[in-house]
Amino acid sequence: MSDYVDVLIVGAGLSGVGAAYRLAERAPQRSYAILEGRERIGGTWDLFRYPGVRSDSDMYTLAFGFEPWTNSKAIADGGDIRDYIEATAQKHGIADKIRYGRKVTRADWDSQTASWTVTSDLADGSTEIMRANFLYLCSGYYSYDQGHAPEFAGQEDFGGQLVHPQFWPEDLDYADKNVVIIGSGATAITLLPAMAEKAAKVTMLQRTPTYVLSQPGRDVVANAARRVLPNKLVHHVARLRYAVMTVGFYQFCRAFPKTARKNPARIDE
């Protein structure tokens, strides 16, 4: 006998928690459950534990519209984001709907009953079956089992330790060691300065130069406004302000690429 809910949500990260809130808000008569493959809430923000992990966009944009971001950091550390997701789920009763350790492996649609039959694998080797009329996949686009790992010629001859940021060892000691970071994207840009605090030398090995525009980690305007205005109002105004700034800067770069290249710092050495 399988369990039945009106809506079955897969994934207990930002998307899953946000979907659960909106469902309860707009269709409170509908029952739902969240299946999470891991044993903790937070999704990507719980999985990634490498040094310096943080958001690569402002939290007024990334955070929930219904739960104001009140942390003083607009560009937040991974741990702060994870705590925010968990606190939001607890506050709105979403945490009680999460079933951890359920890795969804199959979903079958039955047109006659207009329902999904969803199979999950549990850690003990058993399976669990649930039925729902609506299946909402909020599992993101990362493979939690194996991150992107291209093959490098001569990799087997390397005498040092190879580490993937997605599976960062808790006991990794890189103090006073020479480190090479392959890549120049958001992960590399946050990882490099954090590792440089302890490592003897950190070198970024990149294929394409990255343009970086430095901005303060804390939003002085929003932090000041929060002292006299409601949190929700500050959040929504800051969210709109960042949206206008981001779209405006994008359009500026498209219209005047040569001028735009002169302003950011270029990581090309």
| Total number of domains constituting the chain | 3
Q: Read off the pLDDT of residues 231-247 as tens digits, 9 standing for 90 and up.
A: 999 999 999 999 999 99
d(CA 193, CA 244): 29
Confidence check: pLDDT of 144 > 90: no
User: Would residue 144 count as lying in a domain?
Assistant: no
Residue 64 confidence class, pLDDT cut points 50, 70, 90: very high
Residues 89 and 184 in one domain: no
My answer on whether 109 and 56 are in the same domain is: yes
Over the range 105-143, which residues count as b (16 or more CB within 10 Å of their CB) and which as e?
Answer: eebeeeeeeebbbbbbbeeeeeebebbbeebbebbbeee
Q: Judge if pTM exceeds 0.75.
A: yes
Assess whether 165 and 98 both reside in one domain. no
Query: Could you tell me the CATH number of the domain that includes residue 60?
Result: 3.50.50.60
Looking at the fold, whether 189 and 260 belong to one and the same domain comes out as no
For 112-138, how does the pLDDT look when each residue is reduced to its tens digit (9 = 90+)? 999 999 999 999 999 999 999 999 999
Domain hosting residue 192, numbered range? 159-208
Shared domain check, 111 and 26: yes
For residues 204 and 232, membership in a common domain is answered with no
